Amino acid sequence: MSEQQVDTGRRRFLTVATSAVGGVAVAGVATPFLMSFFPSERAKAAGAPVEVDISKLEPGQKINVEWRGKPVWLLSRTKQQIADLPKNDPKLVDPKSEVEQQPKYCQNEGRSIKPELLVAVGICTHLGCSPTFRPDLAPADLGPEWLGGFYCPCHGSKFDLAARVFKGVPAPKNLEIPPHKYLSDTRLLIGDDK
């Protein structure tokens, strides 16, 4: 079992359990039975997919899981947050996600398979800091037009709730969307979409 963080956006963190799967093919040698459920740290670093239970994820809530040593965010967007996404388009560098920062099936307004769930690698495309979740509307430090998003504290890059970068900040590209697929309505696999 590994831990994933729950980030409510209000600086409150909980931990919930998740499990990681895969790893048999990664090693390329005979692998003990248990390894198929709990891959070694080496196998995980090499890219074993991570299975996540999303059944407890509430609208507006974000959780963090680790895949290939990187933070991956799972954000359950509210209906209002989904409806607000197109309002940001004129202010974004790549609103249609034309730069290859996502699988083809996420080349849409929400950059996601289902509009309500964003899955993104939480590493800034400028110099690699991890942006902060800022779902609050029009906060004093981000301005009256802020509809929620992510703010990188290192050099001030801003991303919307589809992880698309705003114009006029140091980060050149949208955040990366990792390959992923739904195993069921409540289980997601990160790192494998085949």
Positions that interact with ligand FES (CB under 6 A): 124, 126-129, 152, 154-157, 170-171
Amino acid at 153: P
Supply 43's token pair.
């196998």
Q: CB-wise, 126 or 180, nearer to ligand FES?
A: 126
Q: Of 82 and 92, which has the nearer Cβ to ligand FES? A: 92
Tokens of 68: 């290939």
**Residue 167: CB minimum distance to ligand FES, A:** 14
* Min CB(168)–ligand FES separation in Å: 12
Question: How far apart are CB 156 and ligand FES at their closest, in Å?
Answer: 6
CB atoms within 10 A of CB 92: 19
CA torsion 88-92-95-97 (nearest 10°) is -140
Nearer to ligand FES, 9 or 170 (CB): 170
For 37-46, the CB contacts below 8 A with 24+ separation are: 38/1, 44/20, 44/68, 44/69, 45/69
Which C-beta is closer to ligand FES: that of 106 or that of 152?
Answer: 152
Residue (127 or 138) nearer to ligand FES, CB: 127
Q: State the nearest-atom distance from the C-beta of 163 to ligand FES, in Å.
A: 13
CA dist 102 and 178 (Å) reads 7
Provide the 3-class DSSP secondary structure of residue 64. strand
| Shortest distance in whole angstroms from residue 101 CB to ligand FES | 15
Cα dihedral across residues 153, 154, 159, 161: positive or negative: negative
Judge whether 1 and 19 are in contact, CB under 8 Å: yes
By beta-carbon proximity to ligand FES, the closer residue of 76 and 174 is 174
Least Cβ distance, residue 130 to ligand FES (angstroms): 8
